[in-house]
């Protein structure tokens, strides 16, 4: 597995593993023993970057990741997140905007103590603010994380779904190692302002949902149904009408995949890797075959003509459906 660097000095595998779906958001939690084996298999295949959060469960995903990766602690980088009020934000389908957020410094420090125990670590490798809290100045958030870094409880500071002005203000207080936001061929909004700002400031980029929550694998169409506990049932892009309307993007990926003897999922990940050398996507999966397919994307070489074809064709497409319902969308880009 190739390595990439986030920020100035956090080296991770070129592709990480998003762990949320193992115990949260995409239907019932998966079997703990099976997920433990999958996490070990990821390490065996060169993955060193794992992503979780206290709200995933809540708590159970951190516990899973902490227990499963304990034997490999010196080999891996674990990222987790704070920032939700867990008394109100335990189900993505019922989150109610800013009322579900809490980034008060005292809450950050309390959250970190819990994450340290669940992850079975002495220091959190990368700590993200999960969503920007409009009630707490970002300078206070950055200052609280800085104190945790000075205390040896956190190594690196990150933000998730933050806007460029917030990034700049936070970075001025405590250098930001990475921004995590949604980015893929069907969510290209970071290209306008965010990516140029990250390049200017020397901040790494960690795209979540690089496969469009499964859509960019080419395995979905208008007839696809989801478990009642799957939060995609609340997302405008996953209505039958939107799934049908966005199939043109899958057709594009399939054409390039055939040309490069790859799968649509591998092309989608390879496209991200080709954008910048400091981009590290974190596709999630609960299946070994999908893990191996995703990791093989590092060997897919997209030529300049491939990238040009993808850019020109996708630029002519209109993506149907918002990526989040309004209550969740308002929590991004602040």
pLDDT 10s digits, 160-216: 999 999 999 999 999 999 999 999 999 999 999 999 999 999 999 999 999 999 999
Counts of helices then strands in the chain (DSSP H, E): 12, 9
How far apart (Å, rounded) are the C-alpha atoms in residues 81 and 129?
6
Q: Which residue has the tokens 């055939």?
A: 258
pLDDT tens by residue, 189-205: 999 999 999 999 999 99
The whole-number pLDDT of residue 86 equals 86
φ, ψ for residue 260, nearest 5 deg? -105, 10
The helix (run of H) or strand (run of E) holding residue 155 is strand 154-160
Instruction: For residue 330, give both structure tokens.
Output: 């308002």
pLDDT tens by residue, 13-29: 999 999 999 999 999 99
Q: DSSP letters along 101-135, please?
A: B---HHHHHHHHHHHHHHHT-SSEEEEEESS--TT
How far apart (Å, rounded) are the C-alpha atoms in residues 122 and 156?
14
pLDDT at residue 90 tops 70: no
| Model confidence band, residue 315 (pLDDT cutoffs 50, 70, 90) | confident
pLDDT at residue 323 tops 60: yes
By CB atoms closer than 10 A (0-12, 13-18, 19+), residue 296 is: middle
The whole-number pLDDT of residue 98 equals 57
The whole-number pLDDT of residue 92 equals 64
The alpha-carbon radius of gyration of the chain (Å, integer) is 19
- Catalytic positions, written as ranges: 56
How far apart (Å, rounded) are the C-alpha atoms in residues 185 and 216?
8
φ, ψ for residue 152, nearest 5 deg? 80, 15
Percent of the chain with pLDDT over 70: 96
pLDDT at residue 321 tops 80: yes
The whole-number pLDDT of residue 87 equals 77
The whole-number pLDDT of residue 180 equals 98
Residue pair 130/82 in contact (Cβ under 8 Å)? The answer is yes
Q: Which residue has the tokens 């100045």?
A: 137
- Measure CA 266 to chain center: 17
CA distances from 217 to 164, 165, 209 (A): 30, 34, 11
pLDDT at residue 227 tops 70: yes
Q: Give the residue among 31, 29, 33 at the shortest CA–CA distance from 59.
A: 29
The whole-number pLDDT of residue 327 equals 87
Q: Does domain 3-329 have CATH number 3.20.20.100?
A: yes
The helix (run of H) or strand (run of E) holding residue 195 is helix 194-201
């Amino acid at each position: 597995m190739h390595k990439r660097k986030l920020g100035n000095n956090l080296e991770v595998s070129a592709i990480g593993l998003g762990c949320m779906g193992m115990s949260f958001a995409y239907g019932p939690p998966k079997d703990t023993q099976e997920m433990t084996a999958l996490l070990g298999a990821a390490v065996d295949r060169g993955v060193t970057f794992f992503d979780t959060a206290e709200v995933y469960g809540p708590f159970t995903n951190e516990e899973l990741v902490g227990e499963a990766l304990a034997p490999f602690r010196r080999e891996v980088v674990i990222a987790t997140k704070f920032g939700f009020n867990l008394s109100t934000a335990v189900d993505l389908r019922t989150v109610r905007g800013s009322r579900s957020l809490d980034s008060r410094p005292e809450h950050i420090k309390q959250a970190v103590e819990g994450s340290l125990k669940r992850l079975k670590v002495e220091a959190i490798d990368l700590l993200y603010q999960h969503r920007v809290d409009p009630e707490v100045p970002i300078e206070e958030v950055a200052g609280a994380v800085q104190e945790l870094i000075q205390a040896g409880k956190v190594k690196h500071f990150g933000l998730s779904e933050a806007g460029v002005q917030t990034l700049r203000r936070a970075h001025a207080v405590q250098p930001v190692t990475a921004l995590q936001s949604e980015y893929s061929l069907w969510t290209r909004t970071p290209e306008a302002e965010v990516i140029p700002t990250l390049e200017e400031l020397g901040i790494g980029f960690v795209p979540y949902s690089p496969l469009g929550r499964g859509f960019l694998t080419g395995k979905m169409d208008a007839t696809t149904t989801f478990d009642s506990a799957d939060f995609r049932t609340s997302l405008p892009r996953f209505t039958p009408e939107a799934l049908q309307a966005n199939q043109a993007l899958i057709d594009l990926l399939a054409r390039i995949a055939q040309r490069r003897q790859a799968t649509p999922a591998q092309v989608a990940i390879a496209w991200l890797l080709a954008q910048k050398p400091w981009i590290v996507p974190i596709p999630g999966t609960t299946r070994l075959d999908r893990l191996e397919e995703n990791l093989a994307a590092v060997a897919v070489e997209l030529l300049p003509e491939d990238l040009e074809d993808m850019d020109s064709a996708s630029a002519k497409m209109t993506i149907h459906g918002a990526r989040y319902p309004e209550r969740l969308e308002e929590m991004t880009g602040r």
